[in-house]
Amino acid sequence: MEEGCPVCLETGNNDRLVVRDSSVAVYHMGNVALPGYLVLAPLRHVTLWKDLEESETTSLERFRALAETLLLQKKPIRKVYFLSFGELCPHIHIHCFPRTASMAGDIPMTGGVDGPRIFDHYRTALKTDASPPEVSDMIETLRREFQDHLLTGKSPGR
8 is a contact residue toward Zn ion (CB under 5 A): yes
114 is a contact residue toward Zn ion (CB under 5 A): no
**Residue 1 or 101 having the CB closest to Zn ion:** 1
CA distance 101 to 119: 14
39 is a contact residue toward Zn ion (CB under 5 A): no
Pick the binder of Zn ion from 16, 45, 62, 121 (CB under 5 A).
Answer: 45
2 is a contact residue toward Zn ion (CB under 5 A): yes
44 is a contact residue toward Zn ion (CB under 5 A): no
**Residue 93 or 99 having the CB closest to Zn ion:** 93
Pick the binder of Zn ion from 91, 93, 99, 149 (CB under 5 A).
Answer: 91
CA distance 98 to 76: 9
Residues near Zn ion, by CB under 5 A: 2, 5, 7-8, 45, 91
